[in-house]
Each structure stands twice: as structure tokens, then as C-alpha cells.
Amino acid sequence: MSIDERTAARIDDYLNDKLSKSERKKFESELKSNPELADELKIQENLLQIIGERGITTSRSSFSKEAIDEVAGFLSGDEMTRIRKDIEEINDRYNGKTSKTRTLFYQITGIAASVLILLSLGLTLLLNKNGDLYSQYKDKYQPISMVERSETESALSIVEKNFNEKQFAKVISITSASGDLKFKYPVMLLYQGIAYRELGEYPNALESFSEFGLISDLDTNLMYWHQGLVYLKADDLEKARETFSKIDQNGSFKGEADVKEILDSLK
């Protein structure tokens, strides 16, 4: 079956719910009587399925040369290998019927779809790069353990226990109800801020860290570290750079090398 531009457009409109009720009914009637048209529809559905499964998006319309160069680097990665295999399977089904003549337009449509998948996946990976950066560092340089320092306050023990078990909602519940205890043990605010950050409550996380800074002049670099991670997770790269740059890099923070790597990655 030779698919012309009009038929290809109708398939696209059908898949994107752009047909009127009467047009859709007519098209579905044709599908029942025309197996080859139904086959073409299935091919397009398969392409859309791959796009959906991979979470591919092309919502970003402009990229710097550096971004494009990084996308090129992704093309040789494992994820690209997997997506290429998916495309090859679709291509085999698409062009494997030697008895059918494909119009130049529709062949180009198939090629363009494959290129779109490859390029979009690269851009998606690029946009997720900062999330990967956050995942790489989020568990480093946790607050000091008050329990290990022989503090006997039960609330601290419970906070640490729940924090270590990643029960972040419980951490927030306890620290929020601790009142003046946080002034005696400011480290509770660090636990609270990290818990808020892990739950995606970024304003509350930043407020907790700021409150820590007002109460204590100890572990300031650690506070900036975790503040920076909030901005990194929230994809506010300018604020992330600004915050990580505040960390004193004269040897007073054991994560100095990591700070440098993060700042280099955010250039």
C-alpha cells in the first residue's frame, strides 16, 4: 500500500484525537475494511509507544553549543544502544514488507521519527544531568550524630533513627514539635531541612537551613552544602552555583574536592 501525505496526516490526526466524531467514525470503518491501513496505524502507535515509554520530550527549543556537544556524547551510551534496538525493531516491521511500495514522503517520515527519538532522548538525558548530579552527592556529609556524641536526649535519638531509616515525614513531625529543643541542639534543624528536601518541600528546607544559620555559627559549610543540594534538586542552577561558592574552600570543609567538582559541572 502506498501511503500518501494526506493519509499519513489522517493517521496522525486520529492518534492525536484531532478528528471530528464523524471523521473518526469513518476512519475506524476504513480500518476494519483495510488491513494495510490498520497496519500503518499500528506502526505509528509503536513509535509513539517508544517515545512515551522513554519519557522523551522536545519541549526545550534552544540549546547552546555546549549542550549539543554533550548530547552527542550520549549517543554512544548504554541507553542509546537500547533505544537503537527498539528503533531497529520498528524499522524492520516498517520496511520489511518488500511487497509494499513506500512513498518517499512516508519513508522520510519514518526516518525523521527515528532521528527524533535519538535526538530527544539525548536532550532528555542532558536535562536530567543535574538530577544525576544531585543523586551522586545527596547522601554525603550528613549532620553529625548527636547519639554518637553521647547525647541522651530521647528526641534526638528518635530523629536520627527515623532519618537513617529515611522516614522523613516522621523526622519533620518530631523536629517541628520540638520547640526550644532545636535551640539547644541546632543540628536538629539540619536533619529537618534534609528531610524537607527529600520530600520535595524546598521552601521549608531552605527555611530550616536558614534558621540553623541564625542559631549556630558551627558547621556553616555543611549548611551551605545542603542548601546547595536543595537548589540542585530544584534545578535552580544559578542559586546552586552561588550557594556552593559560599563554602570555604581552604581546607575547613572535608568535601572541598566535591564542591569543586560540582562547581565545575555547573559552569
Cβ proximity of 12 and 48 under 8 Å: no
What sign does the CA torsion over 225, 227, 233, 234 have? negative
Cβ proximity of 225 and 142 under 8 Å: no
Cβ proximity of 144 and 262 under 8 Å: no
Q: What's the whole-model pTM score? A: 0.53
**Cα 35 from Cα 6, distance rounded (Å):** 18
For residue 50, what is its C-alpha cell?
Answer: 517508544
Count CA atoms within 13 Å of residue 75 on its CB side: 12
Give pLDDT tens digits along the chain (267 positions).
445 667 878 888 888 888 888 999 999 999 999 888 888 888 777 766 655 554 444 444 444 445 555 555 555 566 666 666 666 666 665 555 444 444 444 544 555 555 555 555 555 554 455 557 888 898 899 988 866 555 556 788 889 899 999 999 999 999 999 888 888 889 999 999 999 999 999 999 999 999 999 998 888 999 999 999 999 998 888 999 999 999 976 667 888 889 999 998 887
Residues 77, 83, 84: CA angle, nearest 5 degrees:
90
